[in-house]
Amino acid sequence: MTATDTDTQLNDLRGILGPEYVKTGADAAPWSHDWPGHAHWTPLAVVRPANTREVAKVVQWANRTGTAIVPVSGNTGLVEGSTAEGAVMVSLDRMSAIREVRPEARVAIVEAGAILSNIHAAADAHDLIFPLTFGARGSAMIGGALSTNAGGSNVVRYGNTRHLCLGVEAVLPTGEIIDLMSELHKDNSGYDLRDLLIGAEGTLGIITAAVLKLHPKPMAYATAMVAAPSLNDALTLLNTLQRETGGAVEAFEFMPRIFMEAYLERYPEARAPFDQMHEVNILVEVGALSPRDATPGDDGRVPVTGHLEDVLGRLFEEGAILDAAVAQSDTQRQEMWARRETSAEVARLRQPLIDNDIAVPLDQIQTLLEQIVRKSQAIDPDLIPMCVAHLGDGNLHFAGWPSTDDPDTLKQIKEMVDDTAIALGGSFSAEHGVGLTKKPAMARHKNPVALQAMRAIKQALDPKGIMNPGKVLPEG
């Protein structure tokens, strides 16, 4: 492309949006790298539309000129899904409105650039919650969460992002606006195009708005750290707590001893969860919705907390758990959550770093972890295995600190981890998406007929291949 061609393109975009909303050069730097810092690129421009109509005009121009378009929200992704060398990045950061919260219907209507923590605050004002939560909630935007079908810590009770969305609005690769902003819980009127766009990572269109499902805000939380003899014992603990609480377990997070030691190294002012270290540490949280479970008794004891203490006490006496500490204040609860929510920073305590996002059926988690630790150390005997897991939904974030940065060795370990998860009936991608980094795994593991169907859908909706090109789908 010549300088004259580039100038023409930029002038076109400035004419659509105004010069101040077309960023180039140093002004585009905040959008020119991914969060981990692994990928860097130089976009043709970053455009910042104010509404869906402006998004549509930009995409119509891109479709007409054959220009690659890469949508970007909070840019907190981990799979290089927003790399955009020479492309036009469409930032949704100006489209951040929470248009409406309707507490009786328990829905929120939001624009794609709404930051997750702001949605939380808007729901909280009505004693409701939008339960999607993870460490980057202060900068992640709902459009990105929808595009990757993000998971987080509360999937065990509320499901992934897909389960928390009733409807979407999007701009298709042709520049046409598709209005799927349904507020219905039941609608069997043809193909579910909403679910097709959710999780597509911007390859089929740009989500610009959504109808989100809200839930009652728990009136009280009971939160605890529990040490279990093994991961299989932790799964028994989860099933016991689900039965004892009527399915009120909101989070069930695993952190091994190695992670705890690294956490204390990274944050030396922090406290260990127990007086002695244990191999299997679980963060469990139960949410109480009824006054019966949340109203303190005459002794000041909150029933849901007391019940959790009683259950854990009984399990300790039976030898089913090794130790437990139940939070007695919100400060103690936040201290427990800090251990889990800083996992990304803890993992990056050392380099190089191997990081996998895999999932298996719940009863295969212990087998999975044992096998990948053994196999990874057979490849690199000095590798230090680091991991955390959303244990309640079978999602393991296996990380490792290898003793070498040799690319072939790192690739061998990552492929082994994916292969092991697949062999146990799992997936190589649980909640982070595919982007660029997991395309080789898609080629190796995804059902060929499924890939053929995906390519057909991509071709039908985006025949010019302009929408987040090169992501998700391996070359056929």
b/e map of 431-445 (b: 16 or more CB within 10 Å)?
bbbbbbbbbebbeeb
Q: How far is Cα of residue 104 from the mean position of the Cα atoms in its chain?
A: 28
Which residue, 353, 358, 356, is CA-closest to 423?
Answer: 358
**In which residue are the tokens 């130089």 written?**
42
CA distance to 21, 64, 135, 388, 441, per residue, from 140 (Å): 21, 31, 9, 21, 26
Task: Supply the mean pLDDT for the chain.
Answer: 96
Q: Domains in the chain and their CATH numbers? A: 3-91 (3.30.43.10), 98-216 (3.30.465.10), 220-342 (3.30.70.2190), 350-438 (3.30.70.2740)
**In which residue are the tokens 């180039």 written?**
24
Q: 108-157: per-residue pLDDT in tens?
A: 999 999 999 999 999 999 999 999 998 889 999 999 999 999 999 999 99
Predicted confidence band at 3 (pLDDT cuts at 50, 70, 90)?
Answer: low
Predicted confidence band at 37 (pLDDT cuts at 50, 70, 90)?
Answer: confident
Write down the pLDDT at residue 100: 98
Q: How far is Cα of residue 193 from the mean position of the Cα atoms in its chain?
A: 21
Interacting residues of 284 by C-beta distance below 8 A, sequence separation 6+: 223, 224, 225, 226, 237, 238, 241, 249, 251, 252, 253, 308
b/e map of 372-391 (b: 16 or more CB within 10 Å)?
bbeebbeebeebebbbbbbb
92-99 contact pairs (CB < 8 A, 24+)? 92/49, 92/55, 92/141, 92/143, 92/206, 92/208, 93/48, 93/141, 94/21, 94/48, 94/49, 94/50, 95/49, 95/50, 95/51, 95/52, 95/55, 95/208, 95/209, 96/141, 98/122, 99/209
- Nearest 5°: the CA angle 332, 394, 449 is 150
Predicted confidence band at 4 (pLDDT cuts at 50, 70, 90)?
Answer: confident
Total-model pTM: 0.95
Residue 357 and residue 399: Cα distance in Å, rounded? 9
Write down the pLDDT at residue 36: 82
- For residues 263-292, give the mean pLDDT: 97
- Nearest 5°: the CA angle 102, 105, 107 is 60
Q: What is the DSSP letter of 474?
A: P
Q: How far is Cα of residue 43 from the mean position of the Cα atoms in its chain?
A: 25
- Nearest 5°: the CA angle 453, 70, 45 is 160
**In which residue are the tokens 């500490």 written?**
325
Maximal C-alpha separation, the chain? 78
Q: 331-371: per-residue pLDDT in tens?
A: 999 999 999 999 989 998 999 999 999 999 999 999 999 99
Write down the pLDDT at residue 135: 85
Q: Is 53 in contact with 42 (CB distance < 8 Å)? A: no
b/e map of 13-41 (b: 16 or more CB within 10 Å)?
bbebbeeebbbeeeebeebbebbbeebeb
- Reply yes or no on whether the pLDDT at 476 is more than 90: no
Q: Give the Cβ contact number of residue 271 at 10 Å.
A: 10
- The tokens describing 224, both together, are 């605890």
Residue 394 and residue 430: Cα distance in Å, rounded? 9
Q: H/E element holding 46? A: strand 45-47
Q: Are strands 206-213 and 165-171 parallel, antiparallel or unpaired?
A: antiparallel
Which residue, 474, 419, 415, 400, is CA-closest to 442?
Answer: 474
First-residue to last-residue Cα distance in the chain: 27
Q: 200-230: per-residue pLDDT in tens?
A: 999 999 999 999 999 999 999 999 999 999 9
- The tokens describing 64, both together, are 């007409």
Residue 95 and residue 112: Cα distance in Å, rounded? 6
Amino acid found at 200 = A
* 40: β partners: 33
Q: What is the DSSP letter of 3?
A: H
- The tokens describing 212, both together, are 């989100």
**In which residue are the tokens 């030898």 written?**
319
CA distance to 101, 213, 329, 408, per residue, from 129 (Å): 11, 9, 20, 45
Q: 64-118: per-residue pLDDT in tens?
A: 999 999 999 989 898 999 999 999 999 999 999 999 999 999 999 999 999 999 9
- Reply yes or no on whether the pLDDT at 1 is more than 80: no
Q: What is the DSSP letter of 211?
A: E
Q: Is 379 in contact with 295 (CB distance < 8 Å)? A: no
